[in-house]
A = this chain, B = another copy of it.
Amino acid sequence: DAASEQGYEGTVSFITEVVDLLLEYLHRINDPATRCWTFTTLTSCGEALSHCLEIPVEPRDLEQILSDCKETLKYAVKTGTRASSTSSRRALTSSPWLREWLTAATNTNMLFTYEIAPVFVLMEEVTLQKMREHIGWESGDGILAPGGSISNLYAAMVARYNRFPEVKMRGMRAVPELAMFTSKDAHYSVKKSAAILGMGMDSVYLVDTDNRCCPSTGAADRTRPQPRSGALLRQRHRRHTTVLGAFDPLDAIADVVRAGTGSGSTWTRPGAAACCSASDTATCWPGCSVPTRARDLLPERHIGLLQGCNGMQADYLFQQDKQYDVSYDTGDKSIQCGRRNDIFQSLAVLEGQGLREQVDYLIDLANYLCQQLRSVARLRDGDGETRLCQRVCFLVRAEKFRSMKPGTGEATAPSTSEGADDGERTTMVGYQPLGNLPNFFRMIVSNPAATEADIDFLLDCIEKYSAEIFDDQPDEAGIGGGGGPAQ
């Protein structure tokens, strides 16, 4: 490209300009007055960035590339701003940043083998081992997956393979009808896994929950018969939702499973971002790792489960005639072939930042948010709010909010003027329906640079915008009260 044509000197000067651009960006996102995003319509955004969205045939010069990138950053959501909280992806801090840069520089393919990625294969091993220690497993296996949904897919796959290894060669026709049980509020990737694996979404049985905002004791899916274990599981399967981030009582479920169906025919797995020593597999964050481990199996067997399930022994990649222990050629355990090197950055999350201190700080901040929620007049005073670690969920005490059905076309996201980066400071926070309650806020306090003042600002924004949206509009006909029991 243009820089490499100019040789090393050209590259140095280009990188210097890139660093200036990055420092300017850093400076902006560290300024509390910076808006994390200004809503821009698709059309306006497309027009403003038309040059950056073009794919020219001829190479662009470096100045133009830099200027395009600068323009791109202007319109992108500034995830790193202190009050930004919509995405559960946290803002990066220096050490992971450094590691991401070096990852780009090395551009290693985690593809498959020790010889291609010697250092990173070892890093993956120690990181998975550390995660298993945190969970409480003495031994096991694991793989890094590109996100929680793929991790859930892995978990369902190894569960199926563990009980019915013939499925790998002969497919679902060769095995009895299988069922998955999960909470009716569980992450959608559970159903998606069933669809992908050829089990079908109908094979997923949804168990009722008793969360604080939407308690219920009846059986889900009364219209169709459920396997006997479903009734057993339903008794114990409580407080389990993706939005609220509740935990399953996995030890109790494991007891039911053993009593009801005999050991070996079921597999327990917690939700995407939690884990427990009673489970068979788990997904650990940060780093999108999925250490897997099969309880009640012989160590030899469970350690080989991912390999057995996913291994294809492609001899053009996984040659056996090597000078080292080829069990370190881990790629055959993956459902991917080439993989991006994600471990170098994941390790930093565990290593350089004092993970424990940071989580403690974020939980303190989440507690502060809970206290403020109770003391702010317009918000529900406590009974609509739940907290799990850094996650705080709450309803807003605006009359029209309470009487709205989910998805009725009302705008609930803060409405702001167009144009990037101008105007007063603002924030983003996720919202979603919860059962038959209207849009509900889910705030994940995940930025260690945030302070109590940023939390106050967030609440001020919610008060201000909910007043603008709901109290200043006339009543609309046809919007019935959808309030649940907690109302």
User: Interface with B: A232-240, A313-321, A454-462, which one?
Assistant: A313-321
> Could you tell me if B42 and A122 are in contact, using CB atoms closer than 8 angstroms?
yes
The yes or no answer to A312 lying at the interface (CB within 8 A) is yes
Q: How far is the CB of A318 from chain B (nearest CB, A)?
A: 9
Looking at A146, A325, A433, A434, the one whose CB has the most chain B CB atoms below 10 A away is: A146
Number of copies: 2
User: Interface with B: A15-23, A208-216, A291-299, which one?
Assistant: A15-23
> Could you tell me if B192 and A116 are in contact, using CB atoms closer than 8 angstroms?
no
> Could you tell me if A150 and B335 are in contact, using CB atoms closer than 8 angstroms?
yes
Tell me, in angstroms, the Cα distance from A126 to B68 when the chains sit together.
Answer: 15
> Could you tell me if B196 and A196 are in contact, using CB atoms closer than 8 angstroms?
yes
Q: Mark A1-28, 1 if CB is under 8 A from B, else 0.
A: 1111000100110111011011101110
Nearest to A27 among chain B residues (CB) is B8
Q: How far is the CB of A417 from chain B (nearest CB, A)?
A: 12
Looking at A8, A106, A174, A309, the one whose CB has the most chain B CB atoms below 10 A away is: A106
> Could you tell me if B147 and A320 are in contact, using CB atoms closer than 8 angstroms?
no
Q: Beyond A26-B11, A171-B199, is A104–B97 a contact (Cβ under 8 Å)?
A: yes
> Could you tell me if B168 and A200 are in contact, using CB atoms closer than 8 angstroms?
yes
Which residue of the partner chain, among B65, B77, B272, contacts A95 with CB atoms under 8 Å? B65
The yes or no answer to A448 lying at the interface (CB within 8 A) is yes
Interface residues on A, range: 35 or more
Chain B hits for A354, CB < 8 A? 1, 57-59
The yes or no answer to A477 lying at the interface (CB within 8 A) is no
The yes or no answer to A105 lying at the interface (CB within 8 A) is yes
Q: How far is the CB of A384 from chain B (nearest CB, A)?
A: 16
The yes or no answer to A277 lying at the interface (CB within 8 A) is no
Which residue of the partner chain, among B25, B45, B347, contacts A118 with CB atoms under 8 Å? B45
Q: Beyond A75-B119, A94-B62, is A88–B109 a contact (Cβ under 8 Å)?
A: yes
